[in-house]
Structure 1
Amino acid sequence: MPVAAPAPARSSSAAARRSHAERGEAREDTRTRLVRAGIETVLERGWAASGVDTILRAVGVPKGSFYHYFPSKDDFGYAVLEGYQAFFLKRLGRCFGGDVPGRCLREQFDAFLAESLDGMARHGWRRGCLVGALGQELGGLHEGFRGRLLASLDAWGEVLARAIAAAQARGEVRPGLDPRQTARGFWAAWEGAVLRARLARDGGPLEAAVADFRRLVAPD
C-alpha cells in the first residue's frame, strides 16, 4: 500500500513571517477597538468624563495595553478624533461626493439628513457630533485639539463647497453665493442644531437647519 509523502516542513522563516503578521493584525485590532470605544464614550460622556479605565473595561484589555498604543490620553484623543473624522468624511462622500452621481443638491441633503436623524435616534439622542462636542469642551483650552478640530471643519467645508459649486453650475443654487462661505455657514448652523437636537431629544432642529439652508441658496 503506498504511503503518502509527508507534507513539506514549513520553513522557520515563513512561520516567523506569518507569526509577525498575525501579531501585527492583533495589535491593530486592539488599537481599532480602543479608538472605537473612545469615540462612543466621548460622544456620550464628553472628554473630561471619559476616563481611561472606562474605555479599557469596554474593550476588555489591561491598562498596559492602552499605554502601549497611546503614550498619553491626549494622544488617544487625537486618534479618536482621526477615527471620527474618517467615519464622517465617508458619510459626506456618500451624501455629497461622487459616490452616487446624478443626484441634485436637495437629494444630497435629504440623504445627509436621513443618516443624521437615524444615527442620533438610534442612540437615544445621547450622541451628537464629536467635533462639536470637543470644540466646546477643549477648543478654548487645548491648542493641540484646537488645530485638529479646525482642520476637521475645514475638510467638511471643502466637501460641501464642491457640492454647492456643482449645484450652482446646474442652476440649483443662486449664482451670487460663494460656495466656501456658504458651506462654512451651514456647518456653523448645523453644529448648533445638533446640540439642540440632543438636548430636545428630537430631530426637529436638524430638519429646520436643512430647510433654512435650502431657502438661503434657492434661486430667485
Structure 2
Amino acid sequence: MGRKSTRNTIVETGLQVMFQSGYVGTSVRDIVAAAGVPQGCFTNHFRSKEQFTSEVLQHYFDNLKALIQDTLGDATLSPRDRLRRYLDAITSRLEDAHWRRGCLIGDLSLEAPGHSELLRHRLGEIFLEWRAPFAECIAAAQAQGEIDTQFAPDDLAEFLLSSWLGSILRMKVERNPEPLERFKRIAFATVFATKSQGEKV
C-alpha cells in the first residue's frame, strides 16, 4: 500500500479539527499543526480555507455515501427496515465518539452560510444529493405498503434528514443517545408507520 499523500493527510486531519473546533474556531495554523506539516504545504494544495473546507465536506460525504449504500442498498431488508438500519448505523458511530461528535454537514450548516457563499451553495448541493437515496427508499416502502402515501417521498426524506440532524444536535448537548432514540421511536410510529402498524410511541 502506498504512503498517504500530504494532501489527504491534511484533509483527514482537518476533518477531525473541525469536528472539535467548528468552522469559525478552526484556523489554518490549527490544521497544519495537527497534521504535522509546514503551513506552506496547506497553501500549496488549497487556495483558501473555504476551498479546503469544501474538500473536507466532500471527503466526509463520500464516507457517508458508502454507509448509505451499505444500509439503504441492502436488498435483504425491506425498504422501511433499511431506513431504520441507516439510523442505527449512524447511532453506533456516534456512540463510538461518546456522543461528543455530531454530523459535519449539520455542524457546518449552522456556521458556514453566514461566512461563505461557496460553502452555503456546496451544502445545498450535498443536501439534494443526500436526500435522493432516502426518497427512493421511501418511495419503495410506499409502493410496498410499508409507509403511508400521504406525503411525497422527497418531503418525507427532507423531514427525516432535517429532524435527524436536529436530534444529533440535542444528543451533543445531552451527551447521551436518548434524542436519537426518541426520534426513531416517534418517527417510525407516526410518519413512517404502516397503515396497520401496531407500534406504540
CA–CA separation in structure 1 for the residues paired with 2:102 and 2:139: 28
Checking the alignment, whether the CA contact within 8 Å between 1:177 and 1:217 is kept in structure 2 is no
What TM-score do you get using the length of structure 1 for normalisation? 0.82
Counterpart residue number, 1:29: 5
Extract unaligned runs of 5+ from structure 1. 1-24
Establish whether residue 55 from structure 1 lines up as the match of residue 31 from structure 2: yes
1:196-218 Cα shifts (integer Å, max 9, x gaps): 00110111111122222212121
1:46-65 Cα shifts (integer Å, max 9, x gaps): 01111222221222211111
Give the letter for the 1:42 counterpart: M
CA–CA separation in structure 2 for the residues paired with 1:40 and 1:178: 36
Checking the alignment, whether the CA contact within 8 Å between 1:109 and 1:210 is kept in structure 2 is no
Establish whether residue 160 from structure 1 lines up as the match of residue 129 from structure 2: no
Counterpart residue number, 1:90: 66
Matched residue of 1:50: which SS? coil
Q: CA deviation at 1:126?
A: 2.0
Q: CA deviation at 1:42?
A: 0.8
CA–CA separation in structure 2 for the residues paired with 1:59 and 1:135: 25
Q: CA 1:140–1:52 in 2, change beyond 3 Å: closer, same or farther?
A: closer
CA–CA separation in structure 2 for the residues paired with 1:106 and 1:163: 8
RMSD of Structure 2 on Structure 1 (CA): 1.6
Counterpart residue number, 2:158: 184
Counterpart residue number, 2:199: none
Counterpart residue number, 1:212: 186
Q: CA deviation at 1:30?
A: 1.3
1:84-130 Cα shifts (integer Å, max 9, x gaps): 11111111111112xx2131134323322222222112122221011
1:170-210 Cα shifts (integer Å, max 9, x gaps): 11111332100110011111111010001101111111222
CA–CA separation in structure 1 for the residues paired with 2:29 and 2:21: 14
Extract unaligned runs of 5+ from structure 2. 196-201
CA–CA separation in structure 2 for the residues paired with 1:43 and 1:55: 12
1:14-72 Cα shifts (integer Å, max 9, x gaps): xxxxxxxxxxx76x621111111111111121011112222212222111111111121
CA–CA separation in structure 1 for the residues paired with 2:161 and 2:95: 20
What TM-score do you get using the length of structure 2 for normalisation? 0.89
Counterpart residue number, 1:42: 18
* % identical aligned pairs: 30
Which of 80, 85, 101 is matched with 1:127 structurally?
101
CA–CA separation in structure 2 for the residues paired with 1:30 and 1:40: 16
Checking the alignment, whether the CA contact within 8 Å between 1:138 and 1:145 is kept in structure 2 is yes
CA–CA separation in structure 2 for the residues paired with 1:54 and 1:163: 40
Matched residue of 1:112: which SS? helix
Checking the alignment, whether the CA contact within 8 Å between 1:173 and 1:217 is kept in structure 2 is yes
1:139-194 Cα shifts (integer Å, max 9, x gaps): 23321111111111111111100000111111111133210011001111111101
Give the letter for the 1:30 counterpart: T
